[in-house]
A and B are shown apart, each in its own frame.
Chain A
């Protein structure tokens, strides 16, 4: 198998059609009135917003913009609004600054210098907003996690990955960008560097220490059971780089699964209780 960018070329019309059908069927079967999603001004949420609108109509998609003082970016707000206009979404802006400050003040051991712990509060607070709106208006939360960040565990547990459906979870970031362009999202936004927005100027590629173009090919190889040596040889990169990615992928399985339980009973949730997920 050759690891080249060509492996990410798929029929994006068909991908779009399948994802839209998946969203529409899920919302209908759940008896929900529509979707709530967080619209950050980034590529993943823009793509999800576009797909949701195409699936069930923009008026049934509520896009929440959840800025806060520390990470505030007018550019992100403008990009989010442009997507909302283009796909005729219902929108609402909630400034989350005061809620965050309240958390910081009320957590006895809060350490302002620990930016990861603080950033995770932001991601989880955004999740609380999304689920409040979903409960209140009988909607489902549509997540925007992609395959690259999910495999790397590059998300906040019970935070930005919390959702009822995650329609682009099986697409690598480079594929999401291509799908975004196919959907008519402006190139400037489709190619905009990703950020989880946990602290100012946080950039995904800088933090991960690798470009998505390379990372995705490494992950693609690992997905297909290639050895780290084979991947490194093909991509002409250090084997240690591939091994670092592999270690991170494997060590983050706890973030992708239900909490681990000790098996004590006949059938156990998360272990051998296998039931279909119903939406009715």
Chain B
């Protein structure tokens, strides 16, 4: 595990239903990430297909591993850069069960995947209509360090990121497709989740307009004490690299020892009262 890594936040606007065009963009920006010395490049939720695809999701979804992930593995191997991106995943066991998934590949191949647990189905969102939720928090021990994955609406649920952190993640990656009216929520929550878990949070959002939804961009790296270390432009495509220094975790944890002060018995109470809501 490295003490410091360089990560790239690839805030792209995806072309809807065009996996080929979007993968070309992923390829181009991964090469750019390598040129700028990045160890890891992160793309937004559903960046392979676009977010607003409705019924077309059944045609677009692929198994993992599958054709696109194999191409991503080749790209990671060729560049030596780790890649995280979002795509609709087709279950290997059925023909129309789809997950909203984050894929993590590295130079050695597929590291893992995370299936979104909290599927927004309100306002402009209809994810439960199309996706089956995931059931597993995802943390991967890699050459880069312990990396946890979550997707967009998951960040509204502190228990998801807490679980990721307790499983050992020091860098929590949240890929997102968040429309503009929700900006202030995410700007607050990314900082809150970083502070309460004393972990780095890398948030990468889509940009551009899809079917009248303007994705607000604003991707960022937040330090374990809540500082926004790097921030991409609002609304437009952007690309930037920034440093994750894992040695800062100790300083943050000693200053606000939120993990040391956890009270597990309260979690039983949470369960009890959540069931009664």
CB distance from B10 to the nearest CB of A (A): 19
Q: Is the CB of A278 within 8 A of B16?
A: yes
Nearest Cβ in chain A — how far from B49, in angstroms? 10
Does A256 sit within 8 A of B, measured CB to CB?
no
Min CB distance B212 to A, Å, is 8
Binds B, one of A15-23, A61-69, A110-118: A15-23
B52 contacts across to A, CB distance below 8 A: 276
Interface string of A1-27 (1 = CB under 8 A from B): 000000000000000011001100110
Q: Taking the complex as formed, is A267 at the interface, i.e. its CB lies under 8 A from any CB of chain B? A: yes
* Contacts of B83-128 to chain A: CB distance below 8 A: 126
Which of B211, B212, B214, B236 is most buried by chain A, counting CB atoms within 10 A of its CB? B212
- Across the two chains, which residue of chain B brings its CB closest to A166? B212
Interface size on A, residues (CB 8 A): 13
B56 part of interface (Cβ distance < 8 Å): yes
Residue of A nearest to B234 (CB): A14
Nearest Cβ distance between residue B15 and chain A, in whole angstroms? 9
- Whether a CB of chain A sits under 8 angstroms from the CB of B55 is yes
Which residues on A sit within 8 Å (CB–CB) of B180?
Answer: 18
Contact of B54 among A17, A22, A275 (CB under 8 A): A275
Q: Which residues of A contact B236 (CB under 8 A)?
A: 21
Instruction: Say if the beta carbon of A277 comes within 8 Å of chain B.
Output: yes
Chain B residues within 8 Å of A267, by CB: 55
Contacts A21-B209, A22-B209, A25-B208; is A275 near B55 (CB within 8 Å)?
yes
Cα(A167)–Cα(B126), bound, Å: 23
Give the shortest distance, in Å, between A13 (CB) and chain B (any CB): 12
- Least CB distance, A170 to chain B, in whole angstroms: 9
> Which residues 237-276 of A have a CB within 8 angstroms of B?
267, 273-276
A22 neighbours in B (Cβ, 8 Å): 209, 212, 214
Point out the residues of chain B lying under 8 angstroms from A273, CB to CB.
55
The listed residue (A17, A276, A278) touching B235 by CB distance below 8 A is: A17
A119 to B: closest C-beta gap in Å:
30
Q: Residues 201-212 of chain B: 1 if any A CB is under 8 Å from the residue's CB, otherwise 0?
A: 000000011111
User: Complex: how many Å from CA A276 to CA B14?
Assistant: 14
Scan residues 183-208 of chain B and give those whose CB is less than 8 A from a CB of chain A: 208
Q: DSSP class of B's interface residues: helix, strand, loop or mixed?
A: loop
Q: How many residues of B contact A (CB 8 A)?
A: 18
Cβ-based interface call for B238 (8 A): no
Q: How far is the CB of A181 from chain B (nearest CB, A)?
A: 22
The answer to whether A277 touches B55, judged by C-beta atoms less than 8 angstroms apart, is no
Distance of A273 Cα from B180 Cα, bound (Å): 26
| A277 and B213 alpha carbons, distance in the complex (Å) | 12
In the assembled complex, the Cα of A220 lies from the Cα of B126 at a distance in Å of 24
Check B53 for interface membership: any CB of A closer than 8 A: yes
Chain B residues with CB below 8 A from A25, complex form: 208-209
Q: Is the CB of B235 within 8 A of A18?
A: yes
List B contacts of A18 (CB < 8 A).
180, 214, 235
**Which residues of B from 216 to 264 have beta carbons under 8 Å from A?**
235-236
Task: Enumerate chain B residues within 8 angstroms of A277, measured Cβ to Cβ.
Answer: 211
Q: A108 to B211: give the CA distance in the assembly, Å.
A: 42
Instruction: Point out the residues of chain B lying under 8 angstroms from A278, CB to CB.
Output: 16-17
Chain B residues engaging chain A, CB cutoff 8 angstroms: 16-17, 50, 52-56, 126, 180, 208-212, 214, 235-236
26 contacts between A and B (CB under 8 A): A17-B235, A18-B180, A18-B235, A21-B209, A21-B214, A21-B235, A22-B209, A25-B208, A25-B209, A26-B209, A267-B55, A273-B55, A274-B54, A274-B55, A275-B54, A275-B56, A276-B16, A276-B17, A276-B50, A276-B52, A276-B53, A276-B54, A276-B56, A276-B210, A277-B211, A278-B16
